[in-house]
Structure 1
Amino acid sequence: MPLLDRIRSFLASPQGRRVTDQGRRYASDPRRQQQARNLLARFRRR
């Protein structure tokens, strides 16, 4: 089974939906957004 098909089937499962919802909640948190910006800035400096 190709990798993308496996990912799609996981995201369609109840567990995949839970993980997706949790990721959306984390991404909407301003503190997490700042952490992500800081991490990207560190990679760009190198």
Structure 2
Amino acid sequence: MALVDRIKRLMHSPQGRQARARAERMARDPRTQAKVRGLLARFRGGGRRH
């Protein structure tokens, strides 16, 4: 459980809060959402293969 404790400490630090805010902004970005949907489609076999 040491890893979980380290992650918890990080998320409560100023750097962790900044990283969380950056991740939340990226998650709301339509371009990022499209990229994630494309990756999920590829892994699920729904994407086009080149």
Same fold (TM over 0.5): yes
Q: 2 CA distance for matches of 1:37 and 1:43?
A: 10
More helix by share: 1
Q: Please list every run of 5 or more consecutive structure 1 residues that lacks an aligned counterpart in the other structure.
A: none
Does residue 4 (structure 1) correspond to residue 18 (structure 2)? The answer is no
Identity level (%): 50
Normalising by structure 2, what TM-score? 0.86
Rounded Cα–Cα distance in structure 2 between residues aligned with 1:44 and 1:18: 32
**After TM superposition, what 4+ stretches of structure 1 lie above 6 angstroms from structure 2?**
none
**Partner Cα separation in structure 2 for residue 43 and residue 19 of structure 1:** 27
Deviations 1:13-42 (A, max 9, x none): 000000000000000001110100000110
Q: What is the number of equivalent residue pairs in this alignment?
A: 46
Q: Which amino acid aligns with 1:20?
A: R
Higher radius of gyration, 1 or 2: 2
Q: State the Cα RMSD in Å.
A: 1.5
Asked if 1:42 corresponds to 2:42, the answer is yes
Normalised to the residue count of structure 1, the TM-score between the two structures is 0.93
